[in-house]
């Protein structure tokens, strides 16, 4: 049987960090990539890199908190690039920081929209053509924070735990369809999000979290985004079938083996 060859990817949070590296890697592998983030200048920088290497991208400056506009966003991608074969739900915000009784409830709700409702709505929007093709990949970039209450960043761990359940839920509902929805814990990666957390005032995030994140940096434990991107790109191809509906950690040996793909 001939293998399906994905042509179009939509990657959120592509202005910097893990999302930027994923967009560049997928473009290098020949996919047309739709780039989504709020910052136009950061999208322009990534689009220029893709263009320089002969790839194709489409920039969509967009705030994922505007969840009602997500169907239209996907419609624009389908019109310009074609149906989405690969969706990488990567964009997320780490805040608001503070105990549950201290944070602004509206900021908390915004985090739920960006980190959880937007990935769900994007997944729903890309599924119809994937179901027609009997092929699709949705990779939800989750976090180890899904597995424990991240004190003073409760919206973040709440959304990541729920995102994992969404991956598992779609895994059950899409069994046997050729569509894989996967949650990946990317490890600790040297990005703006890490900098944002470790530079928060101790009063906001508490001494345990502050010390832990400063320690990741000072001990040289942070990885670069490129190997994470190579694993995500491999999961976006045939290898993703094996992990359908699963919650996986980048440190798992079976996941590390994807670096050879
Ligand atoms: N870095 C780590 O150590 C680590 C660990 C575990 C999990 N993760 C997960 O990995 C993913 C990527 O993280 P990262 O470290 O690469 O983060 P990052 O450097 O902060 O980048 C986040 C990206 O998301 C975009 N974004 C944020 N809010 C948005 C919104 N409302 N609408 C549209 N785009 C938005 C940002 O662009 P704009 O601000 O311009 O919108 C940016 O391009 C996240 O899901 C994160 O939870 C990271």
State the Cα–Cα distance between residues 173 and 200, nearest whole angstrom. Answer: 40
Residue located nearest, by CA, to atom 11 of ligand 1: 90
CATH of the domain at 140: 3.40.50.720
CA of 89 to the centre of ligand 1 (A): 10
* pLDDT one-digit tens code per residue, 139-193: 999 999 999 998 899 999 999 999 999 999 999 999 999 999 999 999 999 999 9
In a domain, 39, yes or no: yes
For residue 40 and ligand 1, the question of a CB distance below 6 A is answered with: no
Percent of the chain with pLDDT over 90: 97
CA of 115 to the centre of ligand 1 (A): 9
Instruction: State the DSSP code for 99.
Output: -
In a domain, 220, yes or no: no
In the residue annotation, 207 being an active-site residue is answered as: no
In a domain, 201, yes or no: no
* pLDDT one-digit tens code per residue, 219-248: 999 999 999 999 999 999 999 999 999 999
Pocket mutation for ligand 1, best pick of 13, 16, 114 (most atoms within 8 Å of C-beta): 13
In a domain, 1, yes or no: no
For the chain, the domain total comes to: 1
In a domain, 204, yes or no: no
In the residue annotation, 160 being an active-site residue is answered as: yes
Query: What is the residue range of 29's domain?
Result: 8-187+226-254
* Average pLDDT value for residue range 29-33: 98
Q: What is the pLDDT of residue 3?
A: 83
- Judged against a pLDDT cut of 80, whether residue 1 lies above it is answered with no
In the residue annotation, 185 being an active-site residue is answered as: no
CA of 91 to the centre of ligand 1 (A): 4
State the Cα–Cα distance between residues 171 and 244, nearest whole angstrom. Answer: 6
In a domain, 230, yes or no: yes
In a domain, 248, yes or no: yes
Sheet bearing 136-141, strands edge to edge? 57-61, 32-37, 8-12, 86-89, 136-141, 179-185, 247-249
For residue 32, the SS3 value is: strand
In a domain, 199, yes or no: no
Among 40, 36, 145, CA closest to 94: 145
* pLDDT one-digit tens code per residue, 98-148: 999 999 999 999 999 999 999 999 999 999 999 999 999 999 999 999 999
């Amino acid at each position: 049987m001939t293998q399906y060859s994905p042509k179009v990817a939509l990657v959120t949070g592509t202005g910097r960090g893990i999302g930027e590296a994923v967009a560049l890697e997928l473009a290098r592998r020949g996919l047309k990539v739709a780039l989504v983030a709020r910052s136009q200048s950061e999208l322009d920088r990534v689009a220029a890199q893709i263009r320089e290497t002969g790839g194709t991208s489409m920039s969509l400056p967009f705030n994922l908190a505007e969840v009602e506009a997500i169907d239209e966003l996907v419609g624009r991608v389908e019109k310009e690039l074609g149906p989405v074969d690969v969706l990488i739900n990567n964009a997320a915000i780490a805040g608001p920081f503070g105990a549950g009784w201290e944070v602004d409830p509206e900021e908390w709700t915004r985090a739920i929209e960006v980190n959880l409702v937007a990935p769900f709505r994007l997944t729903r929007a890309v599924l119809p053509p994937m179901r027609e093709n009997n092929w699709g990949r949705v990779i939800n970039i989750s976090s180890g924070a899904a597995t424990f209450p991240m004190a003073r960043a409760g919206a973040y761990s709440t959304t990541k735990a729920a995102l994992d359940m969404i991956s598992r839920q779609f895994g059950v509902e899409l069994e046997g369809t050729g569509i894989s929805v996967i949650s990946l814990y990317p490890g600790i990666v040297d990005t703006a999000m890490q900098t944002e957390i470790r530079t928060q005032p101790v009063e906001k995030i508490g001494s345990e979290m502050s010390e832990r994140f400063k320690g990741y940096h000072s001990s040289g434990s942070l990885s670069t985004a490129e190997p994470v991107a190579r694993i995500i790109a491999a999961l976006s191809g045939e290898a993703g079938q094996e992990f359908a509906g699963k919650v996986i950690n980048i440190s798992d040996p079976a996941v590390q083996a994807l670096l050879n793909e």
